[in-house]
Structure 1
Amino acid sequence: MKKYGLRLRFPPVQKTSKPAPPRPPPPAFAFGGGDDEDDIEREISRQASKNKSLQKIEEQHKKAMEEDPSVFDYDGVYDEMKGKIARPKVQDRTERKSKYIETLVEKAKQREREHEIVYERKLLKERSKDDHLFADKEKFVTNAYKKKLAEQAKWLDEERLHQIREERDDVSGSYLSFCCFALFFLLHM
């Protein structure tokens, strides 16, 4: 039959003819009986050896501090070690740049400018339809709006020049250059 619950394992008790050895008597000083002078001398010698070891430790401590004042600066050393590990990670984050993000930002700005120009032209057409109604009224234009229009005109001029340069330097897209090349090739065969 099995027993359930907490079961303690005890070695099987064997009955032998030998009786168990008697326990040693408790120390005499526990009950107040004993030699007080021996105890005092032992305590004095223990304190003396303890003082000598403390003096040695103190001397070693002073010697170490003279050699290197930051020898016991454990927190500073630990922070420095962790800083060396963390610094490359932070530098990687700051130094790494995406390959394409700059061009994407430039293209987004270019599209925004083009959109603004188209919107301004659309507004200009709508205003031209209503110009006959407000012909006798004065028109006021702010300096900021004039500046914006001047920047748009400058940007358009730069874009036209850039486009003209690209067309001039393009060797593969021109039909005329192809014809010239073919004619040159046929003449020199």
Structure 2
Amino acid sequence: MDLNRFQQQLKGTSDAARPLPPVDKWDPPFCGDINLTIALDGRWFYEGSPIGRISLVRLFASVLKREGDNYYLVTPVEKVGIKVEDTPFLITEWHKKDDTLVLVTQTGDEIPLTSSAQLELRTPPPAISDDKATPIPYICVRRNLWARLHQNTYYQLLSHANEAHTQQAEGGDITRFTIRSGQQEFVIGEVAD
């Protein structure tokens, strides 16, 4: 698979003024894997070298598709497999718009946090997990594609979080850290006391 040919197939499919391509409706034949990796830190690598052009990364991110545990870049005519070390997106910024928390990925996607289905606490991979394997927030960006909060972003949100202590039915206490977005409370962390 030639990455340049793949890029040519995508010309005109995505830019800032257009909606995302309808990759869920595309079902092209699988053409094999390419040596493209999305690393734990959110950087995209091709043939072991970082892809430095953010416009190219954004283009490829717009045609990213997940099927089961596998990730693909798709065009209307072909589908190629890529490797994702944890999640394809990393939340690197956040801001408030009115009373809604808006999370921003390394590719510029903005995700207003409005539904409990958008956030899950998951244990990150061992390479970035603490000794206790503490779950951290993962955010659904779109189409079953998730993002992990960058450590700095997570700590910033924790500094704005409310803290509540709860006694568990099976014994022991737990401390939950919550943030408010819109009319909902979201749990962004919990630790056993």
For this structure pair, what is the TM-score category when the shorter chain's length is used for normalisation?
A: under 0.3
Bigger proportion of residues as helix: 1
Bigger proportion of residues as strand: 2
Task: Give TM-score, length-normalised by structure 2.
Answer: 0.16
Structure ranking higher on relative contact order (CA contacts 8 Å, 6+ apart): 2
Task: Give TM-score, length-normalised by structure 1.
Answer: 0.16
